[in-house]
Amino acid sequence: MTNKKKALYILITVIVFIVIAVLSVRGKYDWIIWDDDSKAGVMTIEQDREGIIELGRNIYNEEMGYYAVELNPIGAGDVTFTINSPGTSLDGESYDFTVLPLGIVMEKGKIGSIGNIEIIRMEILFIFILSGINIVFSLKRRIQENRYSYTIMYYMGALVFIVINILIFTFHVLENSRIDNKLSFVLNDIVNDASYFVFILFPLIVILAVFLAISNVVLIIKEGGGIRNLLGTGLGLFLMAFTTAMYFVDYIFGLGSKVAFLINTVIYGLLAYFECVMIGTIIASVVTRRHVPKKNKDYMIILGCGLREDGTPMPLLRGRIDRALWFLKKQIKKSNKELKFVCSGGQGDDEIISEAQSMKNYLMSKGISEDKILLEDKSASTYENMMFSKDVIDADMRGDDKKVAFSTTSYHVFRSGNIAHSIGLDAEGIGSKTKWYFYTNALIREFVANINSQKRQHVINALFILLICLMFCVLYFMI
């Protein structure tokens, strides 16, 4: 679908929704009048003008303590109602109403006092459902184009947010009642959307934090200390502490205060976005880790990651090499096609040989002939791994029809694939397994690295969310 067609469909959908919304809120208005006097009984209402609103039923709900008065618009204009209810606090009270030309009844001074709002809730629910369907199709198309795109991370996080909100608004629709059938309550539902999302995810955040803490303790015992090995625990504790602290905002600034409402709306909005990005990154990493490339490759890039003191590969690097050898075996079995290995990794200050040379030695010890191994021994980062390896491949084989794969550790596949595609290298990744206690902390590090590499986009998104939150707050304060 072209952008013009998509824009046209969105415009038509918006117009249809607006028409339905207007039709749903015009006509009968249920006026709810609360009375704390348990002795309240029959109430009569006088109006200063005829021909504007016709009074319908007048029912008192003793259990809930409110009157339900039906107002039926018959003409545009303003009208004032005065209540006659001797012996109650309502006696003599007056209320101003207006009827708009479209037949919409509104209580003056209360922008959100439109009746018959249940349709609006259903429309919001329908919008979430449509958005979810659109994201699923867009996600499928994007994966086909480039499964390592950061857009996939956003889509997956957004899809989780939308699914949870479909459940939230389904509950709102099913629990809808006449006494909260006002625009103000619907707007409150929308404003509190992010907080509902955060609270629903809170048990999962607690479980994640506990698991990260356990894995980090095991990691430190097995691999030694270091601030990097506490990253997962720090993030989990931060999310738990921050979410818990938000419970006290109402008590600090006053329950129901505008300041508390503003802080809750903005913070929960930004926190929900942060959690969606984190969830999206984790899902994208897991999905790409499980992907196995087509077995028709010409080259397999192996990304370096560290050597022992004697120059042999560390277990993490050995896992990447073994995974690449596994792929070669599967490819030969399926298509009888050989491939060349590109060993990519420079020499660190504490290494006696380059990572590329160490990988070559390991491959030859496994029976791979030297003519099937290419070296890239200058790189010092994943970006350089991909850039310099691309140069080596281009020098070895002319033309654009080169089929390339890369091997790295499972948690590193998504970001590595994104970097490869960013420099024009169309490569599919495979991931080697790693110990569970290392994987969780490394996955959080990848999340932080993803955030850092896309920080400008995240800042723009956060500012947009902040603007939306402030806009809803201003509108809510008006009603």
> Which of 38-47, 149-158, 267-276 is the least confident region?
38-47
Average pLDDT over every residue of 41-67: 81
Average pLDDT over every residue of 69-77: 88
The predicted pLDDT at position 79 comes to 92
Average pLDDT over every residue of 328-351: 93
Average pLDDT over every residue of 108-120: 69
* pLDDT (tens digit per residue) in 165-207: 999 888 877 776 555 556 777 777 887 888 888 888 888 877 7
Q: How confident is the model at residue 41 (pLDDT cuts 50, 70, 90)?
A: low
> Which of 292-306, 319-333, 435-449 is the least confident region?
435-449
> What sections of 291-435 are H helices per DSSP?
315-335, 355-365, 382-396, 413-422
Q: How confident is the model at residue 4 (pLDDT cuts 50, 70, 90)?
A: confident
The predicted pLDDT at position 342 comes to 97
Mean pLDDT score across all residues of the chain: 84
pLDDT at 402 over 70: yes
* pLDDT (tens digit per residue) in 367-395: 999 999 999 999 999 999 999 999 999 99
Q: How confident is the model at residue 355 (pLDDT cuts 50, 70, 90)?
A: very high
DSSP letter for 293, please: -
Sign of CA dihedral 237, 246, 187, 271: negative
Cβ contact 321:359 at 8 Å = yes
Average pLDDT over every residue of 238-257: 74
The predicted pLDDT at position 256 comes to 66
The predicted pLDDT at position 201 comes to 84
1/230 Cα distance (integer angstroms): 46
Average pLDDT over every residue of 78-87: 86
* pLDDT (tens digit per residue) in 145-169: 888 988 898 899 999 999 999 998 8
217/223 Cα distance (integer angstroms): 10
Cβ contact 105:29 at 8 Å = yes
Q: Is residue 308 classed exposed, middle or buried when 0-12, 13-18 and 19+ CB atoms within 10 A define those classes?
A: middle
Residues 6+ apart with CB under 8 A from 404: 297, 298, 299, 300, 301, 393, 425, 426, 427, 428
Residue with the two structure tokens 């030969």: 332
The predicted pLDDT at position 301 comes to 97
